[in-house]
Amino acid sequence: MRPLIQKFTPSRGFAHAFYFVYNALLPLLVFLLVRIGFVQLALSLILLSKWRMLAVRPRFWLANIRANAIDMIVGVSVLAFMTATNSEAFQLLWVVLWAGWLIGIKPRADTLWVSVQAFLGFAIGMVAMFYTWDHEPLFVLVAAAAGVCFFGAHHFFDSFDESYTRLLALLWAYFGAALTWVLGHWLLFYGPIAQPTLLLIALALGIGTLYYLDHFDKLSLNIRRQVVFIMVAVVLVVLAFSDWGDKIV
């Protein structure tokens, strides 16, 4: 079922100005709350900014939550990155990037940009999850990975009016959870990026590219071979050059 509340895409005049100011102020307010130590209040502000999801009949709530999940994942992930550093410069950088997401990427509704939204939300969500929860119990990481994978895949496939959107999203969530469960026993990091995140991002980018090109009849045999080769090569290199010990790379 399509969400009753669609993405807010103002056109001109006062509505556009209000939308711009609102989305510019939200990252700044979150930044100020983080600087003064009110992280929980900043999280509440991010969640309350999505109040329109529930301003409808309860039967539409789940559909609206699915439609807005990627935006919430991005907001919560940015908050996690802000709280993980004491550098004001890095926190302001995240403010700028988040504002760019809210103003320049989130409002777009064409298939290409919705696909970009799904991938970016999925990628930043996975990075933030392992970066901030690396010491949490494995079952927590598995459940969180499944959720991020599900909402990322659902956001992606839903833009194509795919008949099996939910099934494909559940399959990707299961795969992400299973990979996290296996690799979580030897959790390795390449800088801030965990090994399961790197593998899932590589696979998601490859599979998503193949699906997108095939949907628009632009997938030639040569392109398919190139994408599959790059995707498999990245996975093999990551696995082959991993030190399978309980330590961080």
Tell me: pLDDT of 112 over 90. Answer: yes
Tell me: pLDDT of 134 over 90. Answer: no
For the chain, domain boundaries = 1-107, 108-249
Q: Could you tell me the two tokens for 39?
A: 């992280």
- DSSP letter for 46, please: H
Tell me: pLDDT of 55 over 80. Answer: no
Query: pLDDT, tens digit, for every residue of 92-107?
Result: 999 999 999 998 899 8
- DSSP letter for 217, please: T
Q: Where are the alpha helices (DSSP H) in the chain?
A: 13-35, 39-48, 61-83, 88-100, 111-133, 138-158, 165-183, 195-215, 221-240
Please, which pLDDT band fits residue 6 given cuts at 50, 70 and 90? very low
Please, which pLDDT band fits residue 116 given cuts at 50, 70 and 90? very high
Q: Determine the Cα–Cα distance for residues 182 and 161; give it in Å rounded to an integer.
A: 33
Count the neighbouring beta carbons within 10 Å of the beta carbon of residue 76: 18
Tell me: pLDDT of 81 over 50. Answer: yes
Exposed/middle/buried for 75, CB within 10 Å: 0-12, 13-18, 19+?
A: buried
Position 17 scores a pLDDT of 67
Q: Determine the Cα–Cα distance for residues 177 and 197; give it in Å rounded to an integer.
A: 11
Query: pLDDT, tens digit, for every residue of 24-53?
Result: 789 999 999 999 999 999 999 998 888 778
pLDDT greater at residue 1 or residue 118:
118
Position 11 scores a pLDDT of 47
In this prediction, residues 104-128 reach a mean pLDDT of 94
Please, which pLDDT band fits residue 56 given cuts at 50, 70 and 90? confident
- Beta-bridge mates of residue 193: 190
**What is the end-to-end Cα distance of the chain in Å, rounded?**
44
Overall pTM surpassing 0.85 (yes/no): yes
